[in-house]
Amino acid sequence: MDGDAFLEWLRREGRIVIVGASLAGLRAAEVLRAEGFSGSLTMIGDEPYEPYDRPPLSKAVLLGKASPQHTELPRRREIDAKWRLGVAATGLDLAAKRVRLADGDEVEYDRLLIATGVRARPWPKESEAQLDGVFVLRTRDDAAGLHRRLKASPRRVFVIGAGFTGSEIASACREQGVAVTVAERAGAPLVGALGGVVGAVAAELHRENGVDLRTGVMVTALEGDSSGRVRAAHLSDGTVVETDVVIVSLGATRNTEWLAGSGLGAGPRGIACDAGCRAFDFRGIVTDDIFVAGDVARSPHPLFNYQFLSLEHWGNAVTQAEVAAHNMISASAERQPHMWVPAFWSSQFGVNIKSVGVPSLGEQIMITQGSLAERRFIGVYGYQGRVIAAVSFDNTRWLEFYQRLIESGAPFPVEFPTVDRRPEGRQPVPADFPDPSLPSHGPTVTLSGYSPADRRLVFTPGRH
């Protein structure tokens, strides 16, 4: 069969398997059908639920404004899929083109999309993690359980890690009048993602809203009572905080363990793929039949020195899934690159935070509009003399402009005048990111790898 004939056959009666039944998996399935794929489609998901939306889980759901059972993702179209829900994929046989499932079943594919995403990083001490009242927040079940606890008027909630999720949880607690302590290893909340200058504003937000924010400390132990319920958290500064609920919010772990030994280029940092979403095998050779999308993918981005970016962003999951799906059933000349400019948002303490680009690459930051003190501003990040990212606090409507500056590699510092420029915004200052080698909750954007043109390319195959 020549290429064209194969493609035609694939589109007509091929077998496509999607591992991961969340946002990326669903959107990919919809695009496959929308583009005329009429073969068999299998959706495999380890959770027992049809695809649902996660951003509300740390916001509206915790506030009781939305039920955790009712955050299903809206369907754009029928996908006519075989659903294998509540069954995790446990292995992949590249040569036989088969996915192994936890129940012993095997599913054959002609094209495979891996969209297994990430899971919450658990508290490292297992016995403490199992105490009643210790939570992570990633799934619908996590949110339902946590919401029940928050409703039961806990004396105090203790959040470990002041990244975006941890901060949103703290915000939801305060909005309901629940006492909350947040412990953060770095000097301020959100520093991994946005740096110390913006982190200082986030710290003010926490404190003004009544959060007991402890920075520069680590949690050394969680203590339970005789009935196995958590009762206190011990901190590295020697203090002990009594609490009924602990939420471990230490970032995420990529769901790639099931691919160990498969030969695919999968590891703790995700699954490497090219800009067209095709997975690399461990030798650095791109596969032709396996595609990757969403949080679990890491792909090179030309705008950011061809570094491999892995992004835990809602919008990235959608566009990458769309590109992957299109490419899965297209001839090579028709394939599209995934060129999404990273963007994410958060809402906490009544403030809308949005970012474009890769702030954590930034060496300096400049407040080009508004003011840090008023907590309404645009901060622009510079990297090697060009604009690399921007963040807005309650000022999202300007961000599009800054996105174009990023896309066009505009020079940094920003010399031209802007409306609402304050004296503080005339000079750039160090963006103040922590040393990336220090462990923390981690930024939502992680940079790894090197330019494809760089001969020093080092690739670490899946090893756990």
Partner 1 sequence: MTQASLLRQITDYANRANPYPLYEELRKTPVLHEGDGGPYLISSYWDIESLLHDPRISSDAANLAAAGADEMGGPEATGLPPSFIRLDPPEHDRLRRIANRPFGPPHSPHKMDSMRPELAEIVSGLIDGLSGEGQIDLVDQFAYPFPVTVICRLLGVPREDEPRFRSWVDPIVAGLDPDTGREDAERQKTAQEARLQLGMYLAGLVEQRSKEPRDDMLSQLVTSHGPDGPMTTMEVLSTAVLLLIAGHETTVNLITNGMLTLLRHPEVLRRLRDEPGLAVNIVEELLRYEPPVQLVPQRTCIADIDVRGITIPKGSRIWLVLAAGNRDPERFEDPDRFDPDRRDIQHLGFGSGVHSCFGAPLARLEAQIALYELARRLDNPRLVEDPPPYRRNAVLRGPRHLNIAIDGVRPR
* DSSP string across 146-164: HHHHHHT--S-EEEE--SH
- To partner 1, the closest distance from the beta carbon of 356 in angstroms equals 12
- To partner 1, the closest distance from the beta carbon of 373 in angstroms equals 12
| Identity of the residue, 350 or 439, whose beta carbon is nearer to partner 1 in the bound complex | 350
- To partner 1, the closest distance from the beta carbon of 366 in angstroms equals 13
List strands edge to edge, sheet with 89-93.
89-93, 98-101, 106-108
List strands edge to edge, sheet with 364-371.
343-348, 351-357, 386-393, 376-383, 364-371, 429-430
User: Binding of partner 1 at residue 368 (CB under 8 A)?
Assistant: yes
The residues pairing with 222 across neighbouring beta strands, listed in sequence order, are: 233
- To partner 1, the closest distance from the beta carbon of 378 in angstroms equals 8
| Identity of the residue, 296 or 356, whose beta carbon is nearer to partner 1 in the bound complex | 356
| Identity of the residue, 175 or 257, whose beta carbon is nearer to partner 1 in the bound complex | 175
Task: List phi, psi (to 5°) of 160.
Answer: -100, 110
Taking CA atoms, 305 is separated from 133, 385, 404, 454, in Å, by: 44, 14, 17, 11
- The residue within the footprint of partner 1, chosen from 83, 306, 314, 401 (CB under 8 A), is 401
User: Binding of partner 1 at residue 374 (CB under 8 A)?
Assistant: yes
Gyration radius of the chain's alpha carbons: 23
How many Cα atoms occupy the beta-carbon half-sphere of 274 within 13 Å? 18
User: Binding of partner 1 at residue 404 (CB under 8 A)?
Assistant: yes
357-366 burial code (b ≥16 CB/10 A, e <16): bbbbbbbbbb
Which helix (H) or strand (E) segment is 237 a member of? none
User: Binding of partner 1 at residue 369 (CB under 8 A)?
Assistant: yes
Taking CA atoms, 55 is separated from 4, 205, 450, in Å, by: 41, 20, 31
Q: Which of residues 48-87 bind partner 1 (CB under 8 A)?
A: none
User: Binding of partner 1 at residue 397 (CB under 8 A)?
Assistant: yes
Which helix (H) or strand (E) segment is 262 a member of? none
| Identity of the residue, 41 or 399, whose beta carbon is nearer to partner 1 in the bound complex | 399
- With contacts defined by CB under 8 A, name the span among 49-57, 277-285, 394-402, 427-435 that binds partner 1: 394-402
Question: Going residue by residue from 278 to 317, which x/- string records binding to partner 1, judged by CB under 8 A?
Answer: ----------------------------------------
User: Binding of partner 1 at residue 319 (CB under 8 A)?
Assistant: no
User: Binding of partner 1 at residue 416 (CB under 8 A)?
Assistant: yes
- To partner 1, the closest distance from the beta carbon of 277 in angstroms equals 24
Q: Which of residues 240-279 bind partner 1 (CB under 8 A)?
A: none
| Identity of the residue, 115 or 414, whose beta carbon is nearer to partner 1 in the bound complex | 414
- To partner 1, the closest distance from the beta carbon of 175 in angstroms equals 12
Eight-class DSSP state of 205: H
- To partner 1, the closest distance from the beta carbon of 74 in angstroms equals 15
- Residue owning tokens 């005048």: 417
Q: Please name the residue ranges forming H helices in 94-210.
A: 126-129, 140-151, 164-175, 191-208
- The residue within the footprint of partner 1, chosen from 5, 285, 419, 458 (CB under 8 A), is 419
| CB neighbour list of residue 382: distance below 8 Å, 6 or more residues apart | 362, 363, 364, 365, 366, 388, 412, 413, 428
User: Binding of partner 1 at residue 346 (CB under 8 A)?
Assistant: no
- To partner 1, the closest distance from the beta carbon of 352 in angstroms equals 10
| Identity of the residue, 36 or 417, whose beta carbon is nearer to partner 1 in the bound complex | 417
Contact present, 459 and 284 (Cβ < 8 Å): yes
Residue count, binding to partner 1 (CB under 8 A):
18
User: Binding of partner 1 at residue 320 (CB under 8 A)?
Assistant: no
User: Binding of partner 1 at residue 446 (CB under 8 A)?
Assistant: no
Q: Provide the binding-site residues for partner 1, judged by CB under 8 A.
A: 350, 368-370, 374, 376, 378, 397-401, 404, 416-420
